A and B are shown apart, each in its own frame.
Chain A
Amino acid sequence: MEVRVQNIRKEFGRFPALNDVSLDIRSGELIALLGPSGSGKTTLLRLIAGLESPTEGTVYFGNEDASRKTVQQRNIGFVFQHYALFRHMTVLDNVSFGLTIRPSGRRPAKADIRKRALELLDLVQLSGLEKRYPAQLSGGQRQRVALARAMAVEPNVLLLDEPFGALDAQVRKELRRWLREIHDRTGHTTVFVTHDQDEALELADRVVVMSKGQIEQIGTPDEIYDTPNSPFVFGFIGESNILPVRVENGQLWIGDRSIGVSAQGEADGPGQLYFRPHDIELLDSSDGCITGLVTVTRRVAGTRHVELDIDAAHSKVEIELPPEKVTSDHSRIAFRPTRWKLFRD
């Protein structure tokens, strides 16, 4: 189901957790809310769920105003970071819970509930474990039970709060792919919160980058990575370098040298040049380039990371080179960013 968040503001006491946030979630989409802690992403998720109520603004489920509905009436599925499984119930009872507690008019027959729960356990690859208690499962298994439990009520939207946050790296990666598969198979509109950019970029159809209670950028993983629209997004997603530069006659300058990058249409004045460590080309000439002194080189898996001292700009940058390119300390390297972004103050 389509979910629309309109001009939401949320204050805890006098502290604003969300400030005028609007977001359209398309039906069947897998969308990630990404941001550092304190950015308001979990608050936004809980507002959609109805576990919190907004100070101002509206949440629409389809064309219906859901703001005045309770969490029960919204019919959502919520998955918690620490699973929140009912520890005194078996796996099967956990998954069946949402159906068994329905009033008798809307409650399926006992056998149907059981069948549905077993189907879901099959979907999350936990067949045969239905008689276990949560304490007898691993973290990854518990989170899969939690997802099955949330899906059992045929929710309008699935909301996942840092679903893999409590798991170790290996399991996390596995579950990430698995969640994508489940989503593609069931087609639930899904919103998940994460502070892990790899998770967001790998898993989501669209990523919502948040900071300080506001949405910084909404876009596909490619858009977010390739064309960040603010210094925050550029700095938060992936690795980045920042160099203070000057615009003069449509060219970028560091100190008294042009760096060979044209900025047509930009007004003269100072700015910050952002580029990623791998978006560079090495040059032989010393004209129209950035030069720096190698301070440290590190070999990380398939690339060589080189730290450079850019004395003209009084700052340091890190670039990535192919491993066969050997650089000695204190040698000079000339390069030019191939993909970059200029942010003006």
Chain B
Amino acid sequence: MAHDVTTTGTGNTELVRVATSESRFARYGLIGTALCFVALFLVLPLAAVFTEAMRNGPGEFLTVLSDPETFAAIELTLLVAVIAVPLNLVFGIAAAWAIAKFEFKGKAFLTTLIDLPFSVSPVISGLVFVLLFGSHSLLGPWLQSHGIQILFAVPGIVLATVFVTFPFVARELIPLMQEQGTSDEEAALSLGASGWQTFWYVTLPNIKWGLLYGVLLCNARAMGEFGAVSVVSGHIRGLTNTMPLQVEILYNEYNFVAAFAVATLLALLALVTLVLKSLLEMKYSEQIAASRRH
């Protein structure tokens, strides 16, 4: 046993445990409990999704995915992510930059505001937009008379997604940027760099790993968001259904193979995100550690 220290005294061997280790019983008990938990709540459901999707063979799996409505849902999900993630990338950097590097009145309030989408139920986030843009709202009649459709259309879905995924990038960056302080930027400025050069050559490289991580999480959520999107989408088949909404519809129609096939794609997205994240962390662990050190 690596953690046991053997002392040979008067001939009989006595085992003295290292202070921070536990008895064999406790160790295996704890490890077993954790493994059971992971198997029951993570591995098993995931496996079920994949087996259900493949129940009738890979041929059918591909057929249901090429269904026009399902295909439209995949397209819409990608479109929403392509718009929402870059927007939140820019908002997130701007917000984190402001909060971490400057002192101003209402900073605590702004920090709280950024957390708001995390603290309210996604359904409420969706309802906010219904109240704002719906036909009985203040803006509704004006939008209608100008022929602008926000609710039950792509703009509404994008807005709701942006709202729900707003905190990811900012939350990831704020502590990192606060820890790094402002002296790197001051050094660059003192050497004659403009504000933009300082941001591009100094600030951005210092936060790139945190930023990438935030973007990955933001993207995963943007593609997987259900609650808020469900409220504003209107569930118009082939038009305003994203992948999570499509899964629900198919499931409710007892079309299990198709439902699980789409679910597989979403689950794959999650797995790919996790693998990417781990790969990044493995490959650049030194740089990541260095960017957190000062």
Contact = CB atoms under 8 A, between A and B. Distances in A.
Interface of A: 49, 51, 71-72, 75-78, 80, 82, 84-88, 97-98, 101-102, 133-135, 146, 149-150, 152-153
- Top 4 A-B pairs ranked by shortest CB distance? A98-B191, A84-B183, A78-B190, A84-B187
Interface stretch (B41-49, B145-153, B233-241, B286-294): B286-294
A101 B197 contact: yes
Contacts of B22: none
B192 A75 contact: yes
> What bracket does the count of chain B residues touching chain A fall in?
20 to 34
Contact of B186 (A78, A133, A134, A146): A78
11 contacts: A85-B187, A86-B201, A88-B205, A88-B206, A88-B287, A88-B291, A97-B188, A102-B192, A134-B290, A135-B293, A152-B191
Contacts of A102: 192
> Which secondary structure dominates chain A's binding surface?
loop
Interface of B: 183-184, 186-194, 197, 201-202, 205-206, 286-287, 290-291, 293-294
Contacts of A84: 183-184, 186-187
A82 B191 CA distance: 17
Contacts of A80: 183, 186-187
Contacts of A134: 290
A78 B189 CA distance: 10
Given A86-B202, A98-B191, A135 B290 contact: yes
B190 A49 contact: yes
Most chain A CB within a 10 A radius of its CB, from B183, B190, B194: B190
Nearest to A79: B187
Nearest to A51: B186
B206 A87 contact: yes
Nearest to B201: A101
Contact of B294 (A78, A82, A146): A82
A88 B186 CA distance: 16
Contacts of B189: 51, 71-72
Contacts of A51: 186, 189-190
Contact of B193 (A72, A82, A150): A72
Contacts of B183: 80, 82, 84
A102 B197 CA distance: 10
B195 to A, nearest CB: 9
A21 to B, nearest CB: 21
Nearest to B204: A88
A97 B290 contact: no
B289 to A, nearest CB: 8
A91 to B, nearest CB: 14
A64 to B, nearest CB: 17
Nearest to B192: A72
A205 B188 CA distance: 29
Given A84-B186, A97-B188, A101-B201, 8 more contacts: A78-B186, A82-B294, A87-B206, A87-B290, A87-B291, A88-B291, A101-B191, A135-B286
B191 A149 contact: yes
A84 B198 CA distance: 13
Contacts of B293: 87, 135
Contacts of B188: 86, 97, 101
A102 B191 CA distance: 9
